[in-house]
């Protein structure tokens, strides 16, 4: 017996299911339609290749184990720089076999007493960070209008999640070097370091725009642009 008012049209149910599925799938890289798609560099000769996700696919019969291998994360990063950190990426640019697989890694090394991975965002990926050595103060900020700050002090073995697209940072509050490994939900998550993008763009953003946006004096903006423009360019 059907209860009056309880009937839900089949077409509407399918529409809602399709919509929910679309949002779920669109939260990360598209699923591959083959076992793998080893990326070809555009400088290589392309023979019978297919253009997928920005990378040509090599004939799978020509793939080797080296296409799925990268040893760079075993090498400590050089933290002798103004922010005291080094990010070593392991994405599709380093591991051609990651193409279309929707995942990548990164190693972050932090100098003692204040090594910083400065506020940045990954436009195409959620990040899961695990501390391998040291103690990190980490956090992210939600979108407008709330701009809520979520922070945590992490110790060796601790894990923290940075949602896709949100500004986040990691700061070494320990007296020794810190190391973290990050997993990201994209083969090419991208990164926008906020200060570098705003004050180090090429060409520079108009000083009047930044003066009004940050509510500071022109001289402050010009000083910051000089710092970051030379670093970036």
Annotated binding site for oxalate: 117, 122, 127
* Binding positions: 117, 120, 122, 127, 168
* Binding positions for Mn(2+): 120, 122, 127, 168
Tokens of 106: 């990164």
Element (H, E) at 196: helix 194-199
Beta-carbon neighbour count of residue 196 at 10 Å? 16
Our CA angle for 100, 98, 197, nearest 5°, is 85
Our CA angle for 105, 74, 167, nearest 5°, is 35
- C-alpha closest to that of 162 among 113, 213, 124: 124
- C-alpha closest to that of 231 among 196, 194, 192, 206: 196
The SS3 of residue 213 is helix
């Amino acid at each position: 017996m059907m209860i009056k008012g309880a009937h839900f049209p089949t077409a509407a149910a399918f529409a809602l299911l399709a919509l929910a599925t679309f949002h779920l799938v669109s939260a990360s890289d598209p699923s591959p339609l083959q076992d793998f798609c080893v990326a070809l560099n555009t400088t290589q000769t392309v023979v019978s290749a297919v253009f997928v996700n920005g990378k040509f696919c090599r004939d799978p019969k020509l793939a080797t184990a080296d296409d799925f291998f990268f040893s760079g994360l075993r090498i400590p990063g050089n933290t002798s720089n103004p922010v005291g950190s080094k990010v070593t990426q392991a994405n599709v640019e380093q591991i051609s076999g990651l193409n279309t697989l929707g995942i990548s890694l990164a190693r972050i090394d932090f100098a003692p007493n204040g090594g910083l991975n400065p506020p940045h965002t990954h436009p195409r990926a959620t990040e899961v960070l695990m501390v391998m050595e040291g103690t990190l103060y980490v956090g992210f900020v939600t979108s407008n209008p709330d701009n809520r700050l979520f922070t945590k002090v992490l110790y060796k073995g601790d894990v923290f999640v940075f949602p896709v697209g949100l500004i986040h940072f990691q700061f070494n509050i320990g007296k020794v070097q810190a190391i973290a490994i990050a997993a990201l939900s994209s083969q090419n998550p991208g990164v926008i370091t906020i200060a570098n993008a705003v004050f180090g763009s090429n060409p520079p953003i108009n000083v009047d725009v930044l003066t009004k946006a940050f509510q500071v004096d022109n001289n402050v903006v010009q000083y910051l642009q000089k710092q970051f423009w030379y670093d970036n360019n």
